[in-house]
Amino acid sequence: MGACRLPTRSYSQALESTRTRPDLRERSKIAVTRRVTLNIDRPDLALLLRVIVGLTNGTLEGISAVPKKVNAFRQAPIDFTSPPVRAHFSTVACRHEDDRPDELLVIHVEPSERVHEAHNGECYLRVGDESRKLTYAQRRELEFDKGQSQYDGQAAAGVKLADLDKGLLTQYRHATGASSNNGILRARSLLTRDGDVTNAGYLLFGRHPQDIFPQAYIRVLRFLTIERGTGARLGLDETADHRIEGPIPLAIERASATVEELVPRRRALDKTGRFRPRPIVPRDAWLEGLVNAVVHRSYSLAGDHIRVEIYPNRIEIESPGRFPGLANPQKPLEVSRFARNPRIARVCADLRIGQELGEGIKRMFDEMRQVGLSDPVYHQSAGSVRLSLAAIPRIDPRIAARLPTGASTCSTSCEPRQAAWAPATWWN
């Protein structure tokens, strides 16, 4: 037995190999491999994963001697996964050490926007080079991330219509032209079919949603140093730590006013020839980041909240939850429109807080580029997304031209555009 001559593969490509004797255990193992390939936390690697049948620890066994067994592997996606995974099969020619021809079976597993499980209910997630078995709560959160299930449409436990703020509802009804409060709640799916208030309805119009969603608040902090620091070196401004609660529209309004007050300003020459104060980061950029964080955060994750951290040289906004489905946070401009909380997004669009056009991220990039600053940067951890808006000049075009393909290019500096939404316009 010897090594097989295979086509060269990318260094980042992950290979799963198995024997050609497909007993129940091996077929189940392949099904698990397929499930974790689909339920993956690295969308940029999802397309690179393959399953190779006929190799064992680098030793060639081939599949030619067991043609009937290959069919068992082809049936594994149907026999062991729910819903069945999308898999394509192909063969690769190779030879043994004694020059006997043989083949390997290559199973190409397509990434999926759905959560896949075994017929016994087990669900796995690929994290790095590990396959982790998910708990029920972790699986539900993965379903919310993929848009397979919607937390904002579930009934809010113990909440009645009387718990909603009638004043806020009435103003929203007037803003939409609806004939009744109950009618607009049903029209926007803020009530279940049984008439219960949904999580979205309570988060948007509850008198104090934090009584059952204690994590649903915005914390705005200003640091005096460029690094957060810890303990005796903590750079937090003693007078600038604000926790903002209340229904979502009011929370956004109050948080935006707080950020605008705390953001550092520098003196700069404007178009009129006068020196005036200008925020280190364009208002439209951080406001869009703040609105996105509130509208699209994961409200099902308990114990964490939205943080807006203001530093002398940047603004960082972190919110619980991850990018949707197979979206790659390293390529934010390629992320298609997705609303983790579609009911909340619709109401915010009615209030002109958002637009539901999928142009929010692009607008942030435009605002930063128009004033000559570097592009926004997203970082995704296991349970949150952090947006960094840095007051760093863009790279000179002459230098950018010498950088590798994909490096940021420089744009002409100009004044930021007028904000698309001004807070406190619909409550008055």
Q: Is residue 1 part of a domain?
A: no
d(CA 164, CA 156): 12
Q: Which two tokens stand for residue 36?
A: 């974790």
Q: Give the chain's mean pLDDT.
A: 78
* Whether the Cβ atoms of residue 380 and residue 322 lie closer than 8 Å to each other: yes
d(CA 224, CA 283): 20
d(CA 100, CA 80): 34
261 and 350 belong to one structural domain: yes
Q: pLDDT class for 33, splitting at 50, 70, 90?
A: very low
pLDDT tens-digit series, residues 306-323:
999 999 999 999 999 887
Q: pLDDT class for 51, splitting at 50, 70, 90?
A: confident
161 and 251 belong to one structural domain: yes
Comparing 189 with 28, the larger pLDDT belongs to 189
pLDDT tens-digit series, residues 162-183:
999 999 999 999 999 998 999 9
127 and 154 belong to one structural domain: no
d(CA 74, CA 89): 8
What percent of the chain shows pLDDT beyond 70? Answer: 73
Task: Identify the CATH number of the domain in which residue 50 sits.
Answer: 3.30.950.30
d(CA 20, CA 4): 15
Q: Is residue 196 part of a domain?
A: yes
Contacts of 207 (CB under 8 A, 6+ apart): 163, 164, 165, 247
Last residue of a domain, one of 74, 102, 134: 134
d(CA 289, CA 308): 10
Q: Is residue 6 part of a domain?
A: no
129 and 154 belong to one structural domain: no
Residue labelled with tokens 């699986």: 139
Q: Is residue 8 part of a domain?
A: no
Q: Is residue 68 part of a domain?
A: yes
Q: Is residue 9 part of a domain?
A: no
pLDDT of residue 326: 53
Last residue of a domain, one of 134, 167, 185: 134
95 and 177 belong to one structural domain: no
**Hey, which of 123-132, 182-191, 321-330 has the most confident mean pLDDT?**
182-191
Q: Based on the number of CB atoms within 10 Å of its own CB, is 62 exposed (0-12), middle (13-18) or buried (19 or more)? A: buried
pLDDT tens-digit series, residues 6-24:
433 332 333 344 444 444 4
183 and 236 belong to one structural domain: yes
d(CA 274, CA 271): 7
164 and 65 belong to one structural domain: no
How far does CA 35 lie from the centroid of its chain? 20
d(CA 96, CA 125): 35
Q: Is residue 43 part of a domain?
A: yes
* Whether the Cβ atoms of residue 425 and residue 249 lie closer than 8 Å to each other: no
Q: Which two tokens stand for residue 338?
A: 């997705």
130 and 156 belong to one structural domain: no
- pTM of the prediction? 0.66
* Whether the Cβ atoms of residue 51 and residue 33 lie closer than 8 Å to each other: yes
Q: Based on the number of CB atoms within 10 Å of its own CB, is 19 exposed (0-12), middle (13-18) or buried (19 or more)? A: middle
386 and 270 belong to one structural domain: yes
89 and 199 belong to one structural domain: no
Last residue of a domain, one of 134, 161, 190: 134
What total of structural domains would you count in the chain? 2
Q: Which two tokens stand for residue 318?
A: 């972190």
Is the pLDDT at 383 greater than 90? The verdict is no
Q: Is residue 2 part of a domain?
A: no
Give one word for 49, left, alpha or beta, with left for phi > 0 and alpha for psi -120 to 50: beta
Task: Identify the CATH number of the domain in which residue 370 sits.
Answer: 3.30.565.60
Q: Which two tokens stand for residue 359?
A: 């142009």
36 and 180 belong to one structural domain: no
Instruction: Give me the domain span that covers residue 105.
Output: 15-134
198 and 97 belong to one structural domain: no
